[in-house]
Structure 1
Amino acid sequence: MNIAILDFDDIQNPLLSAGQAKTTFEIGKLLVERGHVVEVICSHYPGSKDRTENGIRYHHIGISSTNLKLNNALYILALPFVVKSLKVDIIIECFTAPISTLMSPLWTKIPVVGLPSSFN
């Protein structure tokens, strides 16, 4: 199965690299180990490059600046266009503070599953 994960953050992001990025990475690794193709759509940051890590493809959208709020705002604005172009079987959308949902089901007919950032 081809899976896209929508997450602002990236485990290599020096501006954030928080718990949600770690959750995304661990879930992505488990899915890859089970034979799925996983791509994380995340925000640009200074020095970000699209890459594959532990079998997970990381694709960065928006702009790369040292202003985290600006990077994430432009990620949100670009996301509908990216989601419309995805060729995947399912989308996993991370519920990320402070806005919770990115409303990706509005931009696609691909099934979307929500992923909370914490299971506590």
Structure 2
Amino acid sequence: MIIGTMIKKKLDEESFYQKLRNYTRDKIECTHHSFFRFSEEQRKRFNCDFARDILLNQKPILAGLQYNGTSSLFYDFEDNKLLRIMIIFISGRIRVITFYTIEKHQLPKL
């Protein structure tokens, strides 16, 4: 793992979730980079609306601040997996940097 994406500080999950809920769907944006880890077929499911739904409607099981300043959020997902979403807060918006699935045993131990 690149040191920049390692978590340097654990954040309170409930407080972070409440902070996310202060944003509306139109204030959460994605870029082409948000989906680079997914195949074209997977992008039909894992799109910006999917990311918005997760961010606004599910409390993360782990929230942390990475060395590169990005927030990293982990959510329970299907088939014994987790969803990792990396975001930044910029100009009154949330930008989804990237998101992808990981195995549960890959959850960082903080």
**TM-score, normalised by the number of residues in structure 2:** 0.28
Q: Which has the higher contact order (CA 8 A, sep 6+)?
A: 2
**TM-score, normalised by the number of residues in structure 1:** 0.27
* Structure that is richer in strand per residue: 2
